[in-house]
Structure formats: C-alpha cells, structure tokens
Amino acid sequence: MRLDSVDISILNQLQDHGRLTNAELAERVGLSASACHRRVKALEGAGIIDRYVAILSEKALGRGITVYVQVTLDNQKRDTLVAFEKSVEQVSEVMECYLMSGEADYLIRVLVRDANDYERVHREVLSGLPGVARLHSSFTIRRVFSRTAMPVPDEVQITA
C-alpha cells in the first residue's frame, strides 16, 4: 500500500495524540471530518493501525524495575517452544517476549516492584515454565528514553 502525505500525517498525529477526536484530527491534517474518518478506517482495515492503547506509568503503578531475561530452553523442539510461549504469555509481569537467534532462545521484559518481587517471579514462575534450562537476568539502571511512535515509511508492504 502506498501512503501519501496525508496518510503519513494522520499516522504521526495519532501516534503522538491518540485521543484526538476525528474532528480535531481532520483539522490538523487538513481534511473534512468524513474524509479523515474514511482514511483512518482504511488504515485500520489495512492493518497499519494495529490498535489503540493508553500507556500507563510503570512507576506510578509500583512497577519501577525492568528486568530483561534471556531464557534458554533445554531443547528447541516445536512442542517445547509452543508450551513455553503459551505459558509465558500468562505471566502478568512479562510485558514482552521475543524468540531470538543467538545464545538465548527468548528475551523477555519483566516489570516488577523491586528486587524481592523479581526474586519471587524468578523462583515461583519463570524457572517453572516449560522447557526452561537457564535464565540470565539483567536489571535496568535507568531508562534513558522510550519511544512509542515509529517512523512511517512512504510505502508499506501489507502481509496477511
């Protein structure tokens, strides 16, 4: 799908100001409200707009510590991978999970209150996940920056 400058402007506005009304968005991008609404619906339908969310403050909710955990499984059989992925998705402290190349099989991002909370999650939850052979944990010291907005290219390949 080829994006024009108006589509790119819509996407950038929504990334920065997700609570804009359609009328406000239309005014900012120079369209009528109905034309803007059609464009947004087309971007949603094409899967370019994935979802709308509110980004909560981790610190304000008592989850001030981020831990990145490299997970190595005891094997890479399909059943082991599927069992691990289904189980780790149920762990509320795990915010992201990536299948990796390299030494570790997965990289997960865990949010916890403090070191004692992470010890509990490590001992009672992560180490008991299916197929886990080793966990290597790295505590963040400080977030330097975090982005939610991504650069919007002129052309997007839509895959089903």
Question: Is residue 22 domain-shared with residue 77, that is, in the same domain?
Answer: no
- Residue 117 and residue 107: Cα distance in Å, rounded? 19
* Nearest in space to 68 (alpha carbons), one of 91, 96, 89, 87: 96
Question: Is residue 69 domain-shared with residue 41, that is, in the same domain?
Answer: no
Q: Minimum mean pLDDT among 110-114, 131-135, 137-141, 156-160: which range?
A: 156-160
- pLDDT, position 1: 78
Count: domains in the chain: 2
Euclidean distance between the first and the last CA atom of the chain, given in angstroms as a whole number? 13
Question: What is the arrangement of strands in the sheet containing 132-139, beginning at the earlier edge strand?
Answer: 94-99, 106-112, 65-73, 132-139
Question: Is residue 36 domain-shared with residue 78, that is, in the same domain?
Answer: no
Q: Domain residues for 27?
A: 5-45
Q: Strand 132-139 and strand 106-112: pairing?
A: unpaired
Question: Is residue 75 domain-shared with residue 119, that is, in the same domain?
Answer: yes
Q: Minimum mean pLDDT among 1-5, 31-35, 42-46: which range?
A: 1-5
Rg, Å, the chain Cα set: 20
Helix 22-29 to helix 33-45 angle, to the nearest 10 degrees?
Answer: 100
- pLDDT, position 154: 77
Instruction: Identify whether the C-beta of residue 42 lies closer than 8 Å to the C-beta of residue 156.
Output: no
Taking only the tens place, the pLDDT of each residue in 74-132 is 999 999 999 999 999 999 999 999 999 999 999 999 999 999 999 999 999 999 999 99
Q: Transcribe 32-43 into DSSP letters.
A: -HHHHHHHHHHH
CATH number assigned to the domain comprising residue 111? 3.30.70.920
- Residue 26 and residue 48: Cα distance in Å, rounded? 18
